[in-house]
Amino acid sequence: MLSIADRPALEGQANERPARPGSQIKRTSGLHLPHAGLATAIRRLVFYAVLVALWELLARSGLWPSYLLPGPMDAFGALASGFRKDLYVEGMLVSLKNVAIGYGLSVGIGVSLGVLIGRHRLLEETIGSLVMGLQALPSVCWLPLAILWIGLNERAVIFVVLMGAVFSITLGVDAGVKNTPPLYVKAARNLGAHGLGLYWQVVLPAALPAILGGLKQGWSFAWRSLMAGELLFYSLSLGNLLQTGRDLNDVAMVMSVMALIVFIGVAVDRLAFAPLERRVRGRWGYDVNK
């Protein structure tokens, strides 16, 4: 069965130059050194400790009253209280469900549309120009239209998430498809790959680094779009908890929810996208240490 995911197989074994002695060792050395990971963790810990200390000093300076700028302990206390009451747990579950549906739809639509635009000039000149223009439109601009079309409900929030992420994913896939080396496509056709097999076995693997970049950017847009939509729709979600904190004039609650939103966004990046990026970079022979 045809398998052309490996770059050397496409470029031909005859043209492959032998690796210099020690080159592989140089590229892979240091990937699993525990001291490097420990040093990185210590630097991050010190950095955030300094930020918290500066926050505490600023709160104690008296420039703003405590109800406008609470200290770190007040914000952490609000965070702990929210978890004890299960408000934050339920809010996270609702928000994650909405973003999972909206982002999942945007991935399916964006990848399909990006492949079509990247391989067909007519679609690039028509739909591609429209996608480029809509990408510049802030996702919050879709919210009034979603309310008018769908109503003020969770489906409107999911629609805003979809529209906020789909265009960046489409452009990322489009860029990856267009940057596929022609040599790979020609070699694949000579080996008998045509139609969907050509895209599945050659084009998409070659475009995977750019596709991952588009998916990562789409996730960040989807997460931000979700918060914008949930600020208006009443449900037990993180966005609505932000609105509740504002209505109660509880700045500590607002800060604690903001910290939770940032934590989830970073956690998804570190647990989902970062391992995939490392694997793809290693698969394509990029230096993952840089």
pLDDT, tens only, 63-101:
888 888 999 999 999 999 999 988 899 999 999 999 999
- In Å, what is the CA distance from 244 to each residue of 44, 76, 284? 32, 17, 48
User: How far is 256 from 253, CA to CA, in rounded Å?
Assistant: 5
pLDDT for 2 beyond 50: no
Please answer whether residues 250 and 82 qualify as being in contact, where contact means their C-beta atoms are separated by less than 8 angstroms: no
Residue 41 lies in a domain: no
Q: Residues near 185 by Cβ (< 8 Å), separated by ≥ 6?
A: 198, 202, 203
pLDDT winner (highest mean) among 14-18, 19-23, 254-258? 254-258
Angle at 138 between CA 132 and CA 140, to 5 degrees: 140
Residue 228 has what pLDDT? Answer: 85
Helix 238-247 to helix 251-268 angle (10° resolution) is 160
Residue 99 lies in a domain: yes
CA–centroid distance for 190 within its chain: 37
- Percentage of residues of the chain with pLDDT beyond 90: 37
List pLDDT tens digits, range 226-255.
Answer: 988 888 777 788 988 998 998 899 999 999
Query: What is the rounded average pLDDT of the residues 56-60?
Result: 92
Q: Residues near 257 by Cβ (< 8 Å), separated by ≥ 6?
A: 82, 88, 91, 238, 241, 242, 245
If pLDDT is split at 50, 70 and 90, which confidence band does 34 have?
low
Q: For the chain, how many structural domains are there in total? A: 1
pLDDT for 114 beyond 70: yes
Please answer whether residues 231 and 239 qualify as being in contact, where contact means their C-beta atoms are separated by less than 8 angstroms: yes
Query: What is the rounded average pLDDT of the residues 273-284?
Result: 80
Please answer whether residues 168 and 137 qualify as being in contact, where contact means their C-beta atoms are separated by less than 8 angstroms: no
Radius of gyration of the chain (CA): 24
Residue 290 has what pLDDT? Answer: 46
Alpha helices of the chain — where are they, by DSSP H?
Answer: 7-11, 23-28, 34-60, 72-84, 87-119, 121-123, 129-135, 142-150, 154-178, 182-190, 195-198, 204-230, 238-247, 251-268, 274-283
pLDDT for 186 beyond 70: yes
Residue 66 lies in a domain: no
147: amino acid identity, one letter: I
pLDDT for 150 beyond 80: yes
Q: What is the CATH number of the domain that holds 107?
A: 1.10.3720.10
User: How far is 126 from 84, CA to CA, in rounded Å?
Assistant: 53
Residue 212 lies in a domain: yes
Q: Which of the 8 DSSP states describes residue 13?
A: G
Domain encompassing residue 210: 88-290
User: How far is 172 from 208, CA to CA, in rounded Å?
Assistant: 10
pLDDT for 49 beyond 60: yes
Residue 79 has what pLDDT? Answer: 93
pLDDT winner (highest mean) among 160-164, 194-198, 265-269? 160-164
Count Cβ atoms below 10 Å from residue 225 Cβ, excluding itself: 28
Residue 184 lies in a domain: yes
Residue 95 lies in a domain: yes
Query: What is the rounded average pLDDT of the residues 207-234?
Result: 87
Residue 42 lies in a domain: no
Residue 287 has what pLDDT? Answer: 54
Query: What is the rounded average pLDDT of the residues 91-118?
Result: 93
Please answer whether residues 153 and 143 qualify as being in contact, where contact means their C-beta atoms are separated by less than 8 angstroms: no
Lowest mean pLDDT among 104-113, 185-194, 246-255: 185-194
Residue 70 lies in a domain: no
pLDDT for 32 beyond 70: no
